[in-house]
Structure 1
Amino acid sequence: MVSGTLYTPEGYHRSWRAQIAAQFSGATLNIVNFVPGVTDSDKSFLDKFPPATVPVFEANDGTCLFDVNAIAYFLGTDQLRGWKNTHLVTQWVNYADNSILPSVATWVYPCLGITQFNKQNTEKAKTCIASVLKFLNEQLSKITFLVGDRLSQADITVFTALHLLFTHVYEEKDRKPYPHVVRWYTTIANQPEVLKVVGPSSFCIKAAQFDAKKYAELHKKVTETKQPKETKKEKPKPEVPSKKEKPKDDDDEDDERPKPSKILLRTFLLESLIWTPSKGYTAIWISKKRQYRIFGAILTQKLTPSGSVNICIPKSSL
């Protein structure tokens, strides 16, 4: 019996395909919460897996996998793999990753506050999704499952790719033209093995919308400030001011001000991208509002559940 540890963020929809496969096969999974910049900063972890890659899996026999489809294949059964139709299962898995999930993410992620909203990209994604669902509906009008007469990894993968769409933004009027897709989706959602991982799935009643305020709350709000243009005429003569003459900013907090030479090696989240600085990076303190100058912008530092986030920039940019 296969057993091992799956590193994944809690409730991550891409990891479901591996977890559901384990439910079908009876594989024992130890689920460890993956924290970007923390879990993948440990040397022993990086010796086995690429950084910023989720989910990843380590079997008790030492097998290490960092592709979710490979993990699902490893944990699954011959039935899920398609028996002699493995090539057809692989085809649907790739279709889900390349043609379904990118468009779903483009539309749904901004509504969840994960990424920034772009109207042009969202409209394009909606068109692509309609095309995908039309194709799926035609295919499923003649069959119960995508490959063969039993559920396979093809069904699991396409189901997880569509889950965010049907639960967050696709209302009843949107689903109405695709009755065969809805029937198939409901069948997969109600499988006992799927329910144990995903839980009960309910269809969207009112489509979620992008909320700029929510997005700002989930991310460190970037505030652009206009800096006064420096002129040669106004450039002060080089002097060594005394301590009394040294101007003091009302916002300064000497107790909390980090020294410019102090090396900070923490990871922070900026616009949904993980950036782990290396040596040679330093911070510039702006005010008690915990702001740091980064490439001409001001980024407000906020506390996270795990503590404060150190923001770093290259010394060459000072």
Structure 2
Amino acid sequence: MSQGTLYTSGTTRCLPVQALIKKFNLDITSVDKSTVADFEKKFPLGQIPAFVGPKGFKITEEIALLYYVTGLIPDEKVKTVLKGKTDAEKTQVLRWVSVGNTNLFSAIFGNILSIKGITQFNKKENDGRFALIEKYANVFEERLKTHTYIATEKITLADLQCATAWTTACSSILGADFKKAHPYLVRWLNTVVASELGKLAFPEFKYAEKALAYVPPKKEKKDKPKKAEQQPKKDAAKKEEAPAPAEKKPKHPLEALGKSTFILDDWKRKYSNEETREVALPWFWEHYNPEEYSIWKVDYKYNDELTLTFMSNNLVGGFFNRLTASTKYVFGCMVVYGENNNNGITGAVMVRGQDYAPAFDVAPDWESYAYAKLDPTKDDDKEFINNMWAWDKPVVVNGESREISDGKVLK
């Protein structure tokens, strides 16, 4: 009897599960989701890998599927090694599987997509993700100085999952400098890739000789409009009935403040394309006009309800998307600090004028946030603004230092 159907695509997220199926000859059929017309009817979130087992039993989420497929392996000793023998080992395996599948993976793919131009490139966000990748690399490096594998003394699901993230990064956005700086991580990765399961999961893996770099798209030259042909005088004399004027859209309330001497678009370009601490922030403070703009500390009111950090970051992204009507008048960053099931959202946002409400009330959820005006003439407030826009220092919350895990730029 068939053990089920695995729905996949070209993404590397499917590699560990596919390797297990091949290695242990499991009776599972692999199908590319693009060939299945009703895939999203079966799986409304549209995510892969996904699985349908006997009697319509369904599984989504990569970690759950990885553990389920491992459970189908007939050799109990093999299953024990892959999942961990003792409770302590099982916990460590699950811990590292989660590490390889959450923030690290999101940071890697976020930079790949933006560098390739698939998503909008933003230097600040890319730098933030690279800093997060480096932080993870250092954690791996410390662990692997004294251990051959990442969770136990043998290859486990943790090694497969984490190697999926690092092979993706090292074959694209991380170059020779990264390899040189992290010899223990590279030694471990080579060991996993050369293993029996690794050969099945990563058969085409090669280190990038040179890291991918963003290349701005070339601006298309616009053809000059041709001059309208001169109409005969008798035609010009004829007056055609003019079309009714289109109904004017209501102006944004901040439009009434007129043009400012501080050119917001100049600042946004400077921030996106220059080093934040070294170039962008000094430029900002040199040109900022506090009579035309004000800067506000923005805090999410319900941090106790937040769970996973990537979900908190998605919450910020949704809030920013709903502020689209005000983007001509605002700039700022909001960050997620802390870790899964213990995190919060804060940030610093500059708005045109001296009142925050006209800029934020275009978003239906704006009242879910608290707003406090910052005074850049005070050292603490200026330091908070710099830290929020640079993302390179921990956030101090109630006297406690909390690491930044992710964030978004509003511009």
Q: What's the TM-score bracket when you normalise by the shorter of the two chains?
A: 0.5 to 0.7
Q: Which contiguous aligned blocks of 4+ residues in structure 1 show a shift greater than 6 angstroms?
A: none
Which amino acid counterpart does residue 88 of structure 1 have in structure 2?
Q
* SS of residue matched to 2:102: helix
Partner of 2:8: 8
Q: Deviations for 1:271-310, whole angstroms, at most 9, x for unmatched residues?
A: xxxxxxxxxxxxxxxxxxxxxxxxxxxxxxxxxxxxxxxx
Which sits farther off after the overlay, 184-193 or 1-10? 1-10
Q: TM-score, normalised by structure 1?
A: 0.61
Q: Deviations for 1:45-91, whole angstroms, at most 9, x for unmatched residues?
A: 55642332211011245431111111111111332111322211111
Partner of 2:105: 101
Post-superposition offset of 1:211: 4.1
Which amino acid counterpart does residue 23 of structure 1 have in structure 2?
K
| Separation in structure 2 between the aligned mates of residue 68 and residue 174 of structure 1, nearest angstrom | 27
- Residues 1-318 of structure 1 mapped to structure 2, 5 A cutoff: 3-10=3-10, 12-35=11-34, 39=36, 42=38, 45=39, 48-60=42-54, 62-76=56-70, 77-84=79-86, 85-213=89-217, 235-236=243-244
Can you give the 5+ residue segments of structure 2 that lack an aligned partner in the other structure? 71-78, 220-240, 246-411
| Separation in structure 1 between the aligned mates of residue 216 and residue 142 of structure 2, nearest angstrom | 38
| Separation in structure 2 between the aligned mates of residue 178 and residue 48 of structure 1, nearest angstrom | 43
The size of the alignment, in residue pairs, is 215
Q: Taking every aligned residue pair, what percent have the same amino acid on both sides? A: 22
Q: Deviations for 1:86-111, whole angstroms, at most 9, x for unmatched residues?
A: 21111111112233111111222223
Which amino acid counterpart does residue 130 of structure 2 have in structure 1?
K
Tell whether the 8 Å contact from 1:6 to 1:30 is kept in structure 2 after alignment.
yes
| Separation in structure 2 between the aligned mates of residue 2 and residue 150 of structure 1, nearest angstrom | 30
| Separation in structure 1 between the aligned mates of residue 210 and residue 120 of structure 2, nearest angstrom | 21
TM-align CA RMSD: 2.7
Which amino acid counterpart does residue 4 of structure 1 have in structure 2?
G
| Separation in structure 2 between the aligned mates of residue 86 and residue 101 of structure 1, nearest angstrom | 22
Tell whether the 8 Å contact from 1:111 to 1:210 is kept in structure 2 after alignment.
yes
| Separation in structure 2 between the aligned mates of residue 129 and residue 236 of structure 1, nearest angstrom | 57
Higher gyration radius (CA) = 2
Tell whether the 8 Å contact from 2:108 to 2:129 is kept in structure 1 after alignment.
yes
Can you give the 5+ residue segments of structure 1 that lack an aligned partner in the other structure? 217-232, 238-318
Tell whether the 8 Å contact from 1:3 to 1:59 is kept in structure 2 after alignment.
yes
Pair 1:24–1:47, CA change in 2 (3 A):
same
Q: TM-score, normalised by structure 2?
A: 0.48
Q: Which has the higher helix share?
A: 2
Which amino acid counterpart does residue 140 of structure 2 have in structure 1?
L
